[in-house]
């Protein structure tokens, strides 16, 4: 779909410098620009690329004054990054703007489907399922008995949602994710074997949550594993049974949250972080990548890193000492040699 500079400027309430009839059919980064595309310049350190870029149109700030000739048509807006993000959202909507029920697919007679929904081919919608208005269920999705999915949700291909789980409004679940598999509950027996503990709870995902590809969220043993409103989970994350992730917390890839751990609201957690079970993490905690959380974090809005974790400033001081250890060892060895000489004398 081609869009002209004139149409973009109208949509973004921007001012055109150049040919208003030039058109674009795709987007590209300004440092990897391609003909017939749209780019943006928000960070001054990338300004050099605007003078050689191949893009047909570039979004710039209203106060941008080029130091050299620019061949691209410019659209001046208040915030280029925000404007570009807005256009990306519109572009993405086109790829998910699907409606109707494709065949073959299975929809149980007792399932309740909202208006303007999409069910892709080979999807399986079990008995008692409820799907809200304008939600999209892509091909090869399995939705178990009694699952409730709210309005304006997108469930991408290959997602499996087990029985009894609940998902709020405006959620996105990416491909390959499993919601509601059994928690890892096995009781050791006297003969050295393990007996499975029935996992009778469910998973509750509140509204405005996005879950990355191939993430797993286990159902609770009793009660619910809970993902609160506004949480953003990256790819390849494991959330164990009865865990709770607080509102607006973001977690990067390959992090593992053990059972019955509660993470507070507005936390930022890096990749490959590990949490032991049955602890609480205070709201606003920032945790660096590959950290090991072995004890409760009680102080809010603090930054931590390491395994075991230390407050980040303390950790940096410790690292400075570690770097000097070889030199310190040499100095200690020299002091020991001098002391021995003095003793001998």
Catalytic residues: 241
Exposure string for 80-116, b = 16+ CB within 10 A, e = fewer: beebbeebeeeeeeeeeeeeeeeeebebeeebebeee
Between CA 186 and CA 188 the distance in angstroms is 7
- Write the DSSP assignment of 244-256 as a string of letters: EE-TT-EE-TT-E
CB atoms near residue 320 (< 10 Å): 9
Between CA 344 and CA 316 the distance in angstroms is 41
Q: Which helix (H) or strand (E) holds 125?
A: strand 124-125
Q: Measured between alpha carbons, how far is residue 72 from residues 8, 22, 23, 55, 62 in Å?
A: 14, 9, 11, 6, 16
CB atoms near residue 150 (< 10 Å): 21
Structural contact between residues 241 and 202, judged by C-beta atoms closer than 8 angstroms: no
CB atoms near residue 183 (< 10 Å): 24
Angle at 202 between CA 290 and CA 110, to 5 degrees: 135
């Amino acid at each position: 779909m081609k869009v002209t500079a004139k149409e973009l400027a109208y949509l973004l309430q921007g001012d055109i410098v150049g040919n208003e009839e030039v058109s674009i059919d795709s987007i590209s980064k300004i440092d990897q620009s391609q003909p017939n595309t749209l780019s943006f310049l928000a960070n001054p350190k990338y300004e050099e690329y605007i003078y050689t870029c191949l893009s047909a149109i570039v979004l710039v700030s209203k106060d941008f004054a080029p130091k050299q000739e620019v061949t691209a048509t410019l659209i001046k807006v208040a915030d280029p990054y925000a404007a570009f993000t807005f256009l990306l959202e519109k572009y993405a909507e086109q790829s998910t703007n699907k409606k109707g029920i494709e065949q073959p697919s299975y929809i149980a007679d007792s399932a309740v489907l909202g208006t303007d929904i999409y069910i892709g081919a080979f999807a399986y919608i079990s008995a008692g399922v409820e799907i809200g208005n304008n939600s999209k269920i892509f091909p090869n999705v399995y939705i178990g008995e009694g699952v409730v999915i709210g309005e304006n949700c997108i469930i991408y291909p290959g997602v499996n949602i087990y029985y009894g789980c609940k998902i709020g409004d405006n959620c996105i679940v990416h491909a390959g994710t499993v919601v509601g598999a059994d928690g890892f509950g096995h009781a050791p027996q006297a003969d050295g074997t393990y007996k499975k503990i029935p996992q009778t709870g469910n998973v509750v995902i509140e509204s405005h949550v996005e879950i990355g590809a191939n993430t797993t969220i286990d159902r609770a043993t009793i009660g619910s594993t809970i993902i609160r409103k506004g949480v953003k989970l990256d790819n390849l994350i494991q959330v164990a049974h009865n865990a709770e992730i607080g509102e607006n917390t973001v977690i990067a890839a390959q992090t593992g949250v053990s059972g019955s751990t509660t993470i507070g609201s507005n936390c930022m957690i890096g990749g490959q972080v590990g949490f032991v079970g049955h602890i609480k993490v205070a709201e606003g905690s920032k945790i660096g990548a590959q950290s090991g959380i072995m004890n409760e974090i009680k102080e809010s809005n603090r930054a931590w890193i390491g395994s075991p974790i230390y407050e980040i400033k303390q950790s940096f001081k410790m690292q400075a000492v570690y770097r000097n250890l070889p030199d310190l060892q040499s100095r200690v060895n020299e002091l020991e040699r001098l002391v021995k000489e003095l003793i001998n004398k």
